[in-house]
Amino acid sequence: MKYTEEHEWLRPEGDLVVVGITEHAAESLGDLVFVELPEPGTKVAKDDEIVVIESVKAASDILAPLDGEIVEVNEAIVEDPTLVNQDPMGEAWFFKMKLDDPSQMDDLLDEAAYKALIE
């Protein structure tokens, strides 16, 4: 797994990458009440605002971690945003994407670097 400084995690899965938010992010946001995901087929560039989440505390945007195409979204978290609070690193992934350049993953944080960031 790799991590971004914006508290997203990325897990390679075949030729796709599964993306979600970290436990740290989910705890910081508090109870989620709304999630809006991009349409499958959406082309994104790194740092595009592509997901809107709202919690009882605040509204936030999730940025595209890398360049690519959204190929699948997790409708379960749209129907029940609290899943993100319950299992942010597992069942509550946000979307799957096909990267334009898989080597971009090399620029992201590993687990040790991410843990150092949030300490």
* DSSP tag of 109: B
Identify the pLDDT of residue 102.
Answer: 94
Domain ranges of the chain: 2-102
pLDDT by residue (tens digit) across 42-88? Answer: 999 999 999 999 999 889 999 999 999 999 999 999 999 999 999 99
DSSP 18-84: EEEE-HHHHHHH-SEEEEE-PPTT-EE-TT-EEEEEEESS-EEEEEPSSSEEEEEE-HHHHH-THHH
2-102: CATH, from 3.40.390.10, 3.40.50.620, 3.30.565.10, 2.40.50.100: 2.40.50.100
DSSP H or E stretch at residue 85: helix 82-86
What SS3 state is found at 101? coil
pLDDT by residue (tens digit) across 7-31? Answer: 999 999 999 999 999 999 999 999 9
Residue at 48: amino acid letter: D
Q: What's the pTM value of the predicted model, to 2 decimals?
A: 0.94
